[in-house]
Amino acid sequence: MQFTFLAALATLVIPVLSKNILLTNDDSFIATNIRATYYALKDAGHDVLMVAPVSQRSGWGGKFDIPYTTTLQTNGEFGYVKAGSPSWGHELDDNHIWYFNGTPASSVAFGLDYVLPTYFENTTIDLVVSGPNEGTNLSPALFTLSGTMGATYNAVYRGIPAVAFSGSNSNNSFYGDFLNDDPKNPSNIYAAKVVEFVDNLFTTQGDNSRVLPVSVGINVNFPPVGDQAQNCDDPNWVLSRLTGSDAYGFKLVLNQTTGLFQTVPTKFIGLANAVNGDVTLPGENTVVNGCSSSVSVFSVDYDAPVALLNEVKPLFGDLFS
């Protein structure tokens, strides 16, 4: 099924299928990538509700942070929403673009638990799209750290299909300065690839009631493209895995010059020891080194496989007797 889907990405001409999409991120609701994707998904015929943090919340993982006051105590990202404004609200000219003074995970909940039932007759969401993040989210180290991923797996917890997208353009940019019609603009290329991906998902869904199985999400990472790359405007799709030989975590190293600690990406045996999924798939880091986008399928069932559980059980001795 996975092979068929990825093959479809390369070969199918996709008809317009209007679906209900909740769009979020961790770079704030005024980041260039999310705005480009919002307009691209709408142009593709989808009904899109954007609900994203009012300020940059990268690195907050799945933390469920909510406003502690009804008004903002400081300006939102780039000063777009001023201190003293409501802690949540929407663009005056578009009530499908909402901000929330919270984390990506709580922004998803705000959209599902408040905005949709209050303003949109509790419309059922077909898919949560998180991102595209400004910066990649590769390997389990970023799976737990990334706010983009936190929004994704919190949606999956609730039984809602979700896909995280992350780009290689780490510029934390304001859409008012950087969103344009330039076909070489990475934000526009990523937006087009998001549409291509989700439209293929909806097409291959067929008569199924869900676009993804329960408890399953997808992590997609894009390589550098457009004016940030050489000859990469339309990266292909490669099925990948989160763990494996090229997966990494972080360790601390003391910088003898500054006297401060710094983080260093490091390969650890616990991540290389793949016990779930297809161990023959390439790792995400390997895939995005070329003009390819990694597509990793994950599950939020974090229990160990039965074989490992049975290996550990004897170590408890008489603890449970």
What are the residue numbers of the active site? 166
> What span, in angstroms and rounded, lies between the C-alpha atoms of 265 and 243?
14
Q: Are 16 and 44 in contact (CB under 8 A)?
A: yes
Residue located via tokens 């984390």: 103
Degrees (nearest 5) of the Cα angle 245, 247, 252?
A: 120
Map the chain to HEC letters: CHHHHHHHHHHCCCCCCCCEEEEECCCCCCEHHHHHHHHHHHHCCCEEEEEEECCCCCCCCCCCCCCCCCECCCCCHHHCCCCCCECEEEECCEEEEEEECCCHHHHHHHHHHHHHHHHCCCCCCCEEEEEEEECCCCHHHHHHHCHHHHHHHHHHHCCCCEEEEEECCCCCCEHHHHCCCCCCCHHHHHHHHHHHHHHHHHHHHCCCCCCCCCCEEEEEECCCCHHHCCCCCCCEEEEEECCCCCCCEEEEEECCCCCCEEEEEECCHHHHCCCCCCCCCCEHHHHCCCCEEEEEEEECCCCCCHHHHHHHHHHHCCCCC
Instruction: Give Rg (Cα) of the chain.
Output: 20
